Amino acid sequence: MNRIVTPEELEQAREAWQLAQDKARFEHEAWSILIGSKSSLIKSLNLSGKTISQAQKEFQDHMDGHSERYIAALDDLALRSKEFGSIYRVYKAQNV
């Protein structure tokens, strides 16, 4: 049995894909900002009483968290892109 894709389903898939794009872009920007603030963050942590070693570890923990979120956002983007592509192909084929 062939699946019928409604315009609403196509739009929902497109919106999910666009949201995934936005999230991936946001996570990349957040990670980039953290990388750019490495020395000032480590200096600030050091001035607040942490050793340089502790400050570097804390920074690395933040980096690891951002990296994980960015990778998860890219994985979701790949999934949403694949889903949208599949739904779009079915929709186009039924409306030829």
Residue 3's pLDDT band (cuts 50, 70, 90) = confident
Residue 1's pLDDT band (cuts 50, 70, 90) = low
For 63, residues 6+ apart whose C-beta sits below 8 A from its C-beta are 31, 34, 35
Q: Which pLDDT tens digit goes with each residue over 34-52?
A: 999 999 999 999 999 999 9
Mean pLDDT in residue range 74-92 = 97
Check pLDDT > 80 for residue 24.
yes
Q: Report the alpha-carbon distance of residue 92 to residue 20 in Å, rounded.
A: 22
Mean pLDDT in residue range 58-86 = 97
Place of tokens 């389903």: 9
Q: Which pLDDT tens digit goes with each residue over 7-19?
A: 999 999 999 999 9
Q: What's the mean per-residue pLDDT of the chain?
A: 95
